[in-house]
């Protein structure tokens, strides 16, 4: 996971926040609207820049599993919030980063050659999912909010959850929750 963070951070537009050995991956930042060339008129992320831990409501956080209280921080992608697993072996760790002012297409171009890469829409918002390895231990999904704003969900899957909580589908599930919140 640390190698993933280092490699992604070297590419640019990434976050590399570490929490007790559970490194958070970051990759292409995202911004999202309904077309492949969105304007800057997407939903506002300003409230989440100021309060990244407000990106998920209490009921949504419960769906993450056994996680500790949210911890705000800052990384290369901007303000972020970490929900660290209660037990590093048994419970996965999630990080959500809120990014302003980084060109989404530049971010995509830096990760689209990764072994794991998909580019699709969730409820009309563009999302990319990527991992520099195989998507088994970690993954990230970025939601394109505008040309230069994005929200990225990162997951470090706990060893005991790898059989039941696949990293990339899980980051996309959490991204779907965030899209719903952005849509209001």
Asked whether the whole model's pTM tops 0.75, one would answer: yes
Q: Is the dihedral of CA 156, 49, 13, 182 positive or negative?
A: positive
Which letter does DSSP use for residue 54 in this model? G
Q: Quote the tokens at residue 160.
A: 């005991």
Give the up-direction half-sphere exposure of residue 140: CA atoms within 13 A in the CB hemisphere: 36
Secondary structure E strands in the chain: 18-19, 22-23, 71-75, 78-83, 93-100, 116-122, 125-131, 138-144, 149-156
pLDDT along the chain (184 residues), means of 10: 34 35 35 40 86 96 97 96 97 97 94 95 95 94 96 97 95 97 88
Place of tokens 């996971």: 1
List, in order, residues 6 or more apart from 168 with CB less than 8 Å away.
116, 118, 129, 131, 135, 139, 141
């Amino acid at each position: 996971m640390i190698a993933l963070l280092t490699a992604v951070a070297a590419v640019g537009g990434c976050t590399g926040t570490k929490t007790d050995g559970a490194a958070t991956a970051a990759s292409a930042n995202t911004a999202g609207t309904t077309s492949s060339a969105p304007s800057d008129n997407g939903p506002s992320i300003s409230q989440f820049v100021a309060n990244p831990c407000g990106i998920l409501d209490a009921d949504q956080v419960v769906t993450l599993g056994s996680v500790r209280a949210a911890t705000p921080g800052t990384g290369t992608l901007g303000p972020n919030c970490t929900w660290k697993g209660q037990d590093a072996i048994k419970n996965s760790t999630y990080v959500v980063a809120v990014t302003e002012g980084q060109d989404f297409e530049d971010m995509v171009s830096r990760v689209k050659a990764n072994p794991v890469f998909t580019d699709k829409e969730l409820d009309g918002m563009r999302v990319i999912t990527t991992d520099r390895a195989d998507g088994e231990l970690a993954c990230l999904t970025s939601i394109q909010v505008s040309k230069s704003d994005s929200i990225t969900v990162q997951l470090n899957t706990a060893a005991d959850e790898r059989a039941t909580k696949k990293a990339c589908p899980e980051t996309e599930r959490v991204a779907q929750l965030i899209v719903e919140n952005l849509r209001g």
